[in-house]
Structure 1
């Protein structure tokens, strides 16, 4: 049975005390780190659109092959159609290359800037902050949380944009090919999207809790290994192992509920998608028999619907991944929001000079 993460143990209590942020607002805080990278972002965006346009062009070439070439068996028409097919394939390959390159580098550059900013800020915090926070938790934010955020930026985000263009382009060409078949697909898509939104919110809560458990285990490992002499001197090996195993057990329970929810959702989506395909085949087959559409148009429609379905499916997957990355970003930005109790003045003043013959000087002072 899937439980709400608000009812799961110690980690949820810790996270409940933290302010919850809207996902959009969390990602808006990345804008300062994109300074000077807009050109690369535009190239990546255009390349995503070009690669999907090439894919849709390939499908259109297949429609021409089925309708005109295979029926007439004209060698010249076949060569012409295959030439267009290869042109669209080349366009898709070029778009894929530039999309992958620029999104990967964009993610690397943004994450590097965040890591540098957070690390420099943490070094300026006072001792009271380090008394409140465990070293393992801080280290986990600079390593594990950064890795989750980077995966969201250079893997999930480009897949999501490609899925958006696939869904938009595929749906548009589906409507142009056969609007009455598109109604069947649209009804399924709306149902899946409603469930996906609720699922994404659920995943984000679990993503925060799982990252908190990872940080907790990292803190335990750091503290026990840093104080290994004390642990061994007081014969606390068994107790430390039991504490670590308990934390791992909580993490496994969270992962089980998280993956159970994912499995149920994708099972639901699979039934909906293939049910829609069966309905399209039935309605489309009757339309071909009545000569309202051609065999090539039905083939193209099925391929467009598959492209749109894959795009929507990737959007659902990416939505959950970006929610998890948003939870990791919250933990990183919470470090940037920390203010030191003691701060250096913006403008320092020199002590006034006195002409009384007395002065203080450092003579032969060395520091190790």
Structure 2
């Protein structure tokens, strides 16, 4: 079997060092666990001497008093073993749970700071699987398998020492058998390692597919797509099973070979030792103790061979987690020349030759040489056909991406010289698809301003014309929302998103089709609230319905990433053919 590649060995070292780094803060708890581990191992090994004394000093002598004395000693060792096992189990489990909690927190804290482009090029559900399934596996390994491995290593070495102390000749047979047992462990262990990584990936694929289908269950059922999804899911599950079967086959072969060799060696020792007892060279108690230690050593070797599979799976899981932690955000505070915005900005936005291409489409500019200035306190409406670059401009303002050419400045400061946290506090965003989270309505409204008072929350809801429908709910503002606000209509979700933006009281508003989900009556009411909110604030409004942007101070028309015209509604009707065409299509259909 060829050795591991340099990359594999490097990954193994990285994974091991990562685990050690997480364990390092808990040296005291590790000492407790190791102390209990050593204590229980010592007591277990002492049981062999208790068996020898019961046979040689109790049964062989025929003394009831001697037998009672050594049986009581044996039971005392059993009680000590039970207490030590309790301490070992508690502290080892504690370590597993604590370390995994730390890993989950660090991975989540790292992921939530990565730029949005990372999640567009990596499947979110697969990342979720790594954060849950892989860390659960690590918890099981750290909280159980490592303890079992260490315990059996101690039992292996301690039992081997007692074997030699009990009978050197029989112990020589053990040494002959050791290479026969270790060889298959090394042979099969590497195969199990590779299959364990593949198994974790296939399990992640199963979780990803389930989350994707169930998350879009209405679309699945609306198109009667269940039979195809069942067939595809069966394929994914069977692929995962095939990998798991290969891993189980390798582990099963490993365990079978080890058990056969170990127990075969025990049988050989019983035969040789039995001849020595018959010849009077050793006592029956010594043979019983030797068999006891042989079984302990054999069981330790067998258990270690099983645990190796778990440890290999843990290394695979750790590699996947390390990959997440190694991901770096493309959007970070500048290393030098960091600037800060004042606590209250004016809201002047300047675009200087702005250009941008998405990483997946480098040959197609999403924005091309945009020159524009938005004065403080004014409103700018962005209109144009789908794919013109309107939403991309908002993404660049929020610095979800960095522009490929040109620059964006806020109050004269290039946003690339700002900490993204400092930049984004200037904006309140209402997107076309309302982003609501599992929790109460009140929690969702406070999302942009956690310290807001109840009066401020209700005032924002009233301004967004959401207070009435919230009050009509059984628990009012404490009503719990389902995932993504399930249970509310599209218009209600949008009004909650608008109320959240109102509550944040940011100097720049970004409204991406903010009224698209509202009926005519609600749209009129919310538009009035937005008009009030937009007063004295810099506002960028994306809208396909031109009726909602006619009152904007200025309208910018985008097409294929280029700014082709600017002006008021009346000016553009005469100067911009594309705008006039869009207006005729919309207003004529309303006649």
- 2:190 is equivalent to residue 201 of structure 1: yes
Which segment drifts farther, 47-56 or 69-78? 69-78
CA distance in 2, matches of 1:249, 1:345: 48
Q: Give the equivalent residue in structure 1 for 2:251.
A: 262
CA distance in 2, matches of 1:318, 1:264: 14
Q: Deviations over 1:193-251 (max 9, x none)?
A: 11102211111111111110111121112222223333344443333222211111111
Contact 1:23 1:323 in 2 (8 A): no
- 2:304 is equivalent to residue 315 of structure 1: yes
CA distance in 2, matches of 1:37, 1:181: 42
- 2:328 is equivalent to residue 339 of structure 1: yes
Contact 2:11 2:319 in 1 (8 A): no
- 2:47 is equivalent to residue 67 of structure 1: no
Q: How does 1:288-367 map to 2 (within 5 A)?
A: 288-345=277-334, 348-351=338-341, 366-367=502-503
TM superposition shift of 1:105: 0.2
Q: How does 1:43-122 map to 2 (within 5 A)?
A: 43-122=32-111
Which segment drifts farther, 335-344 or 79-88? 79-88
CA distance in 2, matches of 1:137, 1:229: 22
TM superposition shift of 1:360: 7.0
CA distance in 2, matches of 1:33, 1:350: 35
TM superposition shift of 1:75: 2.6
Q: Give the equivalent residue in structure 2 for 1:145.
A: 134
CA distance in 1, matches of 2:153, 2:142: 16
The partner residue of 1:244 within 214, 229, 233 is 233
Structure with the higher fraction of residues in helix conformation:
1
The partner residue of 1:163 within 152, 155, 159 is 152
TM superposition shift of 1:99: 0.5
Q: Deviations over 1:73-125 (max 9, x none)?
A: 12332232123212222221221111100000011000000000001111111
TM superposition shift of 1:352: 8.1
The partner residue of 1:30 within 11, 19, 31 is 19
* Bigger Rg over Cα: 2
Contact 2:251 2:306 in 1 (8 A): no
Q: Give the equivalent residue in structure 2 for 1:285.
A: 274
Q: Give the equivalent residue in structure 2 for 1:218.
A: 207
CA distance in 1, matches of 2:123, 2:271: 62
How many residues of Structure 1 are paired with residues of Structure 2 in the alignment? 348
Contact 1:65 1:81 in 2 (8 A): yes
Q: Give the equivalent residue in structure 2 for 1:272.
A: 261
Contact 2:33 2:87 in 1 (8 A): yes
Which segment drifts farther, 286-295 or 305-314? 286-295
TM superposition shift of 1:153: 0.5
TM superposition shift of 1:367: 3.4
CA distance in 2, matches of 1:261, 1:367: 60
Structure with the higher fraction of residues in strand conformation:
2
Q: How does 1:11-26 map to 2 (within 5 A)?
A: 21-26=10-15
Gaps of 5+ in 2: 349-374, 378-425, 427-459, 461-500, 505-591
CA distance in 1, matches of 2:119, 2:249: 37
Q: Deviations over 1:266-290 (max 9, x none)?
A: 2222221221122111111111122
For residues 63 and 20 of structure 1, do their structure 2 counterparts lie closer, same or farther at Cα, with a shift above 3 Å needed?
Answer: closer
TM superposition shift of 1:36: 3.1
For residues 111 and 190 of structure 1, do their structure 2 counterparts lie closer, same or farther at Cα, with a shift above 3 Å needed?
Answer: same
CA distance in 2, matches of 1:114, 1:177: 46
The higher relative CO (CA closer than 8 Å, separation ≥ 6) is in 1
CA distance in 1, matches of 2:274, 2:342: 95
CA distance in 1, matches of 2:8, 2:118: 18
Q: Deviations over 1:284-309 (max 9, x none)?
A: 11111222211110110000000111
Q: Secondary structure at the match of 2:60?
A: helix
TM-score by length of 1: 0.88
TM superposition shift of 1:128: 1.5
Q: Secondary structure at the match of 1:367?
A: helix
- 2:143 is equivalent to residue 154 of structure 1: yes
TM-score by length of 2: 0.56
Contact 2:251 2:309 in 1 (8 A): no
CA distance in 2, matches of 1:267, 1:134: 39
